[in-house]
Amino acid sequence: MHIESRIRTIPHYPRDGIMFRDITTLLQDADGFRLMIGALVERYRHVRIDKVAAIEARGFILGAPLAWALGAGFVPVRKRGKLPSAVIGRDYALEYGSDRLEIHVDAIAPGEQVLLVDDLIATGGTAEAAIALVQELGGQIVELAAAINLPDLGGTRRLEALGISTFWLGEFAGH
């Protein structure tokens, strides 16, 4: 599936020099959205997946229907303070500062096979924090799946250096 043509590029957002890849145009395209979820389902249909863990917020849009179609549980990986029960958290670096991801302590049981999902792979910092949380709970990462890869930002190399397999449906050069 070639999704690049269904994704809008917004130059100089959120700051000069950035080419923001906006997936909302893909999501509002019923055929494109169906094809995207279908392609992900097809990739994982015959793989044991106990949980789909998705990173806030656009990862939820891909992860929830994927979990449903695979018959897996859905686990939200959220920003600080958004989950109502006991959590573990992981800080990660941003270009200017840091942020924190959290997951419920009872979201993943030891040995469960977890597919991690986000909208795109950029620098890999957010994904790395989510991976650490899943692994801290004893989950085994099957793969990280995304709609888009931005290979020039190095995220796939960073994650693969950690032993994490990555998969994406489309990619864009540059930032």
Q: Is 58 a catalytic residue?
A: yes
Q: How far is CA 168 from the centre of its chain?
A: 10
* Gap between the Cα atoms of 122 and 95, Å rounded: 12
Q: Which of 58, 78, 112, 171 is catalytic?
A: 58
Residue 42 CA to residue 157 CA, distance in Å, equals 25
Which is catalytic among the residues 4, 8, 48, 95? 95
Distance CA 134, CA 54 (A): 11
Whether residue 95 lies in the annotated active site = yes
Nearest C-alpha neighbor of 40 from the set 1, 96, 7: 1
Residues with catalytic function: 58, 95
